[in-house]
């Protein structure tokens, strides 16, 4: 017997406690002032719920730096009978977090995957144009989308869809910072670890619980804290450098930060960076 058994038992008890918590239906989280001319963040979410999972930095930009965050619903899932309900759940989750929501099509885009990009160029190009239209309309300072190895075919498809859309735009309409995200597949080369304060983590979990039809099937909202703790373990070396000490963050999200400029992705600082909860997130884009 060691004291670690008590730690394991308490962790199990917390999981059981979490399964008894209500799903969605909460009043909006604390609302923060956002100026009419605020810099814009676009989150290109492959599925409804991605905005709650990878949104740690976006939420901090809204709450601490007064950026306007706009979640773009690239798809509404592959099950047609669930698409309307998933969009309603997504709207409620975005309202809770104070994220704006923009659809890409009445039921979301279809067949967003690498196979379509190769085999159905006309269909793919129509989807590219839909994404380019959103970028042109919002002129974002920061764009979030999955990295190119994020395992799930729709996540990988969303990566290529956004990059292809950026390539179609003139340099004056596509000069922005790129924040690549991960969930299903780990990034081999993240260069940014962002700490999230406890209130933000709780609000992201609560927002995720609004996706009732999904978390009833698989209560992944309850594992967000464990995932964000493991990000600190990985980020300590992947971002901070091999053999380095991990920062004392309870929760963090890993990203790859680059810039889209003159029609290409460019690296604008060497090495990696840790952003503590006490740091100004807007300093990443100055």
Measured between alpha carbons, how far is 248 from 228 in angstroms, rounded to an integer? 13
Provide CATH code, domain 36-285: 3.40.50.10320
Residue 269 has pLDDT above 80, yes or no: no
* pLDDT of the residue at 160: 98
Domain boundaries, the chain: 36-285
Measured between alpha carbons, how far is 50 from 32 in angstroms, rounded to an integer? 22
Q: What is the pLDDT of residues 109-121, one digit of tens each?
A: 999 999 999 999 9
Measured between alpha carbons, how far is 7 from 40 in angstroms, rounded to an integer? 42
Residue 201 has pLDDT above 80, yes or no: yes
Residue 167 has pLDDT above 80, yes or no: yes
Q: What is the pLDDT of residues 91-103, one digit of tens each?
A: 999 999 999 999 9
Model confidence at 271, pLDDT cuts 50, 70, 90, reads confident
Residue 173 has pLDDT above 80, yes or no: yes
Residue 152 has pLDDT above 90, yes or no: yes
Contact predicate 205/221, CB 8 Å: yes
Whose tokens are 């995200």? That residue is 181
Q: Where are the alpha helices (DSSP H) in the chain?
A: 3-18, 50-53, 56-65, 80-97, 114-119, 121-138, 153-168, 198-209, 212-215, 224-238
**Long-range contact set of residues 11-14: C-beta below 8 Å, sequence gap at least 24:** none
Helix, strand, or coil (residue 143): strand
* pLDDT of the residue at 268: 81
Q: pTM of the prediction?
A: 0.97
């Amino acid at each position: 017997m060691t004291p670690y058994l008590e730690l394991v038992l308490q962790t199990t008890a917390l999981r059981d406690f979490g399964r008894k918590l209500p799903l969605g239906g909460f009043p909006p989280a604390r609302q923060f002032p956002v100026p009419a001319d605020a810099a814009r963040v676009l989150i290109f979410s492959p599925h409804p719920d991605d905005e709650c999972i990878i949104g740690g930095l976006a939420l901090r930009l809204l709450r601490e730096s007064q950026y306007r965050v706009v979640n773009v619903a690239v798809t509404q899932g592959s099950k047609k009978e669930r698409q309307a309900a998933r969009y309603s759940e997504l709207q409620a989750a975005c309202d809770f977090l104070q994220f704006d929501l923009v659809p890409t099509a009445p039921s979301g885009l279809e067949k967003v995957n690498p196979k379509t990009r190769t085999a159905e160029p006309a269909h793919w190009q129509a989807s590219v144009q839909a994404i380019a239209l959103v970028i042109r309309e919002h002129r974002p300072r920061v764009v979030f989308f999955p990295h190119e190895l994020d395992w799930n075919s729709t996540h990988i498809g969303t990566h290529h869809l956004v990059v292809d859309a950026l390539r179609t735009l003139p340099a004056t309409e596509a000069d922005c910072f790129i924040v690549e995200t991960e969930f299903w597949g780990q990034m081999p080369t993240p260069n940014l670890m962002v700490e999230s304060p406890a209130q933000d983590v709780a609000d992201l979990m609560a927002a995720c619980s609004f996706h009732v039809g999904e978390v009833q099937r698989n209560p992944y909202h309850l594992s967000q804290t464990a995932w964000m703790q493991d990000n600190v373990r990985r980020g300590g070396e992947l971002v901070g450098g091999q053999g380095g000490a991990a920062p004392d963050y309870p929760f963090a999200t890993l990203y790859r930060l680059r810039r889209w400029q003159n029609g290409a992705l460019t690296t604008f600082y060497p090495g990696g960076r840790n952003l503590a909860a006490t740091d100004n997130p807007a300093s990443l884009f100055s």
